Amino acid sequence: MGIEMRLHLIDEESLNFLLNLHWNEMYVQLEKGLLREKRPPKDTKLSRSFDIDAESDILDLMDQAAGEGRVIDVLKMQKNHSLLLLLMEWASFGHWDSWEGRCFIYLEQAIGNPIEHVDDMYDELCWEKVNENLRIIGEDQFAKDVCENWMKRREALGETLDEREDPHIMPTFEAHDKAARKLHHAVNRQNCVQIIGREHLDAKDWGHGNWNLKILLEASD
């Protein structure tokens, strides 16, 4: 179905805990599964990698980049944005994701304006508007508006909305409803940092403003 957009919700306290560990200390504790109790609780409405998978991914990258000292200092020295992104995933409550092609519907509905190019969906101003508007409109209304938007787009293309003619109508409707509700929930979750990106995007380009990964590792202190 194409490339996937992903929005991570990061627990800043958990991330800072990892970043301030000694490199070798973090490696040993991850290897033994001793840090699992420090991972933030998973949001039941969102997706997240299993502990063992997250640990394995981090350890694999650490094996490729030996370091000494605090994790954050090693990451800065190596400009290791990929490992920082994995640590953010570990320190997240979960993530919202959807295929890019469908995200046009969700984000255009959220901001109330058309989006001209796929890259515009990742723009900081776009997400500021998404956050602003989805904190005003209710979840039920947003999901309803998204599904109506999708149906109008189908009609404009001359596609049927009769499930007797197309058995995929109801599953697709339900998928849009579910994705819209999860996006609304994610945006309205408090006390977390939003990190937006997509599959195959260079890790340094994830996140906005001071939470952009390139800025986090390469900006002057």
User: Do residues 63 and 75 both lie within one domain?
Assistant: yes
Splitting the chain (221 residues) into consecutive groups of 10 residues, what average pLDDT does each group show?
A: 90 98 97 95 96 95 92 96 98 97 96 95 97 97 96 83 77 94 97 96 96 92 59
pTM listed for this prediction: 0.93
Whether residue 80 is found in the same domain as residue 119: no
| CA distance linking residue 9 with residue 211, whole number of Å | 12
Predicted local confidence at residue 2, as pLDDT = 76
Buried b (16+ CB within 10 A) or exposed e, 82-98: bbbbbbbbbbbbbbbbb
- pLDDT of 159 reads 79
**10 and 94 share one domain:** yes
**In a domain? residue 193:** no
Is 112 inside any structural domain? Answer: yes
User: Is residue 92 assigned to a domain?
Assistant: yes
Residues spanned by the domain of 169 = 99-188
| Nearest-angstrom CA–CA distance, 187 and 218 | 28
> Is residue 197 in some structural domain?
no
110 & 59 share domain: no
Q: How many domains does the chain have?
A: 2
196 within some domain: no
Looking at the structure, tell me whether residues 92 and 116 fall in a common domain: no
- Looking at the structure, do residues 41 and 66 belong to the same domain, yes or no? yes
Does 37 map to a domain? yes
For residue 212, is it within any domain?
yes
pLDDT at residue 221, as a whole number: 59
